[in-house]
Structure 1
Amino acid sequence: MGVRLCVVGAGVAGAGIAYALRAADVDVTVLEKSRGVGGRAATRRRNGRRYDHGANYLKSTDPRTADLLDAIGPEGLVDVTDPVWLFGADGDVRPGDDRDEHKWSFETGITRLAKRLFARTDATVRKTTRVESATRTTDGWTLQDTDGAEHGPFDAVCYTPPAPQTAELLAETTIATDIAEDVDGEDLEAFRDAVASVPYRTIRTLVLGYDERIERPYYALLNDDREHPVGWLAREECKDGHVPDDESLLIVQMSPAWSSEHYDDPLADAAAVAADHAADLLDSERVRDPDWVDDQGWRYALPDDGIDPTAARTAEPLGLFVAGDWVAGDGRVHAALWDGIETGERIATWGGGR
């Protein structure tokens, strides 16, 4: 019998793991706390509109990505060709230079990436299942969820949530003494500390909808000095299939400092602030008065650093793997994707199965 693997988290890293193992002798079960897949590469639908309110696109930074998109099916793929411009603390907008990079989403939204990866596999994905703890004995790994159900046994487990959540899970991970002898206890403790120390940015996204088109010569604006209350502002209408032709939809991601301070502010108050800043950046009074608003908070949105790659593999002899953008050290969709795929490839050759 092949390896029994449990992946905690159905984000892009988890999808990459499953995809890498699609032809391997590995039985993959994915436990996901939410009702969907994709993690922060998330898409919301509202009244005929689609919008990517977390990660906005998949970049072509890794040269392997274009071939992967062809392999999983390019149907409905959207290449956002309008450029990203820049602004600083003073709010002055200026051209940027991202001409050599592709920015991909899908007509149905960026969440389609994870859905399409999983669709190419035989993985079992169990949604609305929040893992609370894990135990490793001679029989393998058993995971407990918050509803009291047990899952397992598995030969290996891979944690893919953001580092702070993975650190919480590691604190509730028990390894039998006779099993733990395979890895030095101090190394395991250092591993847990290294995961817990990865710094993260909090981001609150405000979505502003307008019943008329607001044209600009760019797709998005990026604050490049981290000194403005807005970190990112994107025009979702630049993505085919997302917004009706006569409408505009702005994705306004507030800075980490603002987001942390105002994370729980009422939607109306937060949206009014975002709309005022967006109006100033776009030089449009119309933008101050959106026709509808939405929001999403991301407590652990982006890692500001990553765990040492060697430290990340400390517990792999015990069948305990980690993967994600925080392992790659780059808070980008492509980084999470390829770290997941590379982790899956290691699991395929891992010698700890039965």
Structure 2
Amino acid sequence: MGAGMTGITAAHTLQKAGRSVIILEKARGIGGRMSTRRSDEHQWDHGAQYFTAEDKRFVAMVESWQAKGIVKVWETPIGAWDGQHLSKVSRKPHYVGTPKLNAPLHDLAEGIDIRLQTQVTDIEKHEDGWHVFTPDLEYICEELVLAIPSPQAVALLPPKHPFYEFATSIKISPCWALLVHTPVALPFPYGGIYVNQGPIRWIANNSTKPGRASSHDGTDWVIHATPEWSLAHLEATADDIAQQLLAEFEHFILKQEPAFRYFNWQQVQVHRWRYSRYFGQIQLKYALHEDSLTLAGDWLSNGRIEGAFLSGLAAAEAILENKY
């Protein structure tokens, strides 16, 4: 279950190998943190911002998406702010799906039975396999993949299952995201900025990404708060979060251009990612398989989209080859 990069990669690989698969996804669409928020002519990649490719298996996949025109390199420079200076960051190629970040997932998901808006409430192991319960139906499967964040896996795993204690030990931080549109240019020439001071961690000019719609009539901005700030304000109202992060964003802009005064924010929205990035470091496992149940997700790798893809491959291989 789970229709993010991990779950769809696992299902795609298994289906190519001749297995029958169904994905259960509680959201209205696929992608997880690779989703895109739209409003009128504006759009924001409000979760994951881009992906890189190092492992040869993912490099080959990215090259195939590029050939189809659904992945392109985000060419605009990336900067970093250390509290005093804003400077360009040297980087490996950053890729984005076009016209939305989750475009590669739609490619992988072609032909897969995905049941959207389907909330799994419980799972149980019986002699005939795993029973998966939803408010409307009960599913029975020989193999079950939980491609979901560790806290959600903990809520479903039987307490005596071998993976329960490990999943409980993994803590994942939240992230508040601010989404705004401005009809005027802001005074810095970067597509994205890593912020290393204050409550903001990341600023992105989403309109500089290839294939985005609204670059001709203004700029769509995504601002991510730090994990610490997001956790401290986890239960704040959306209006309060918007006001505080807008104030911090304006403060950041004025540090770059003290004379700048034209703030005209439109389409202001916020989104809370309750499960965004895991705390600390864990040994790369990619997938855990035992008792016909597989745990998978980017939290078992490096927290990145490439790691999510490799976790999905590992989950499928664990089932097909009885690994892990």
Q: Calculate the TM-score normalised by the size of structure 1.
A: 0.82
> Which of 260, 276, 279 pairs up with 1:301?
276
> Which of 77, 92, 95 pairs up with 1:83?
77
Change (3 A) 1:287 1:75: farther
Query: Residues 241-292 of structure 1, C-alpha deviation per residue, up to 9 Å, x if partnerless?
Result: 3223231111000112221222343333322322222223233545744122
Q: Which residue of structure 2 aligns with residue 234 of structure 1?
A: 204
Change (3 A) 1:211 1:350: same
Structure 1 SS opposite 2:180: strand
Distance in 2 between the 1:170 and 1:298 partners?
22
> Which of 313, 324, 327 pairs up with 2:300?
327
Q: Which residue of structure 1 aligns with residue 321 of structure 2?
A: 349
User: Are 1:149 and 2:140 counterparts?
Assistant: no
Q: Where do 1:50-129 residues align within 5 Å?
A: 50-72=43-65, 74-88=68-82, 91-99=83-91, 101-119=92-110, 122-129=111-118
Query: Residues 319-349 of structure 1, C-alpha deviation per residue, up to 9 Å, x if partnerless?
Result: 1001111111x11111111111222122222
Distance in 2 between the 1:205 and 1:306 partners?
24
Change (3 A) 1:113 1:94: same
Query: Residues 50-105 of structure 1, C-alpha deviation per residue, up to 9 Å, x if partnerless?
Result: 210000112124343332023345314231112322223xx334324333x11111
Change (3 A) 1:63 1:272: farther
Q: Where do 1:205-284 residues align within 5 Å?
A: 205-214=177-186, 216-224=188-196, 227-242=197-212, 243-282=214-253, 283=256
Answer yes or no: is the 8 Å Cα contact 1:26–1:348 preserved in 2.
Answer: no
Q: Which residue of structure 2 aligns with residue 3 of structure 1?
A: none
Answer yes or no: is the 8 Å Cα contact 1:155–1:319 preserved in 2.
Answer: yes
Query: Residues 131-185 of structure 1, C-alpha deviation per residue, up to 9 Å, x if partnerless?
Result: 111112221111001x142012x1100101111111111147xxxxxxxxxxxx6
Change (3 A) 1:263 1:123: same
Number of matched pairs: 317
Q: Where do 1:169-208 residues align within 5 Å?
A: 169-171=156-158, 188-189=161-162, 191-208=163-180
Distance in 1 between the 2:310 and 2:98 partners?
23
Answer yes or no: is the 8 Å Cα contact 1:198–1:306 preserved in 2.
Answer: no
Query: Residues 222-257 of structure 1, C-alpha deviation per residue, up to 9 Å, x if partnerless?
Result: 134xx5200111111111232232311110001122
Identity across aligned pairs (percent)? 24
Q: Which residue of structure 1 aligns with residue 18 of structure 2?
A: 25
Residue type of the partner of 1:79?
V
Structure 2 SS opposite 1:143: strand
Per the TM alignment, residue 11 of structure 1 is displaced from its structure 2 partner at its CA by 0.8
Structure 1 SS opposite 2:217: coil
- What stretches of structure 1 of length at least 5 have no aligned partner? 1-7, 173-184
Residue type of the partner of 1:98?
S
Change (3 A) 1:310 1:43: closer
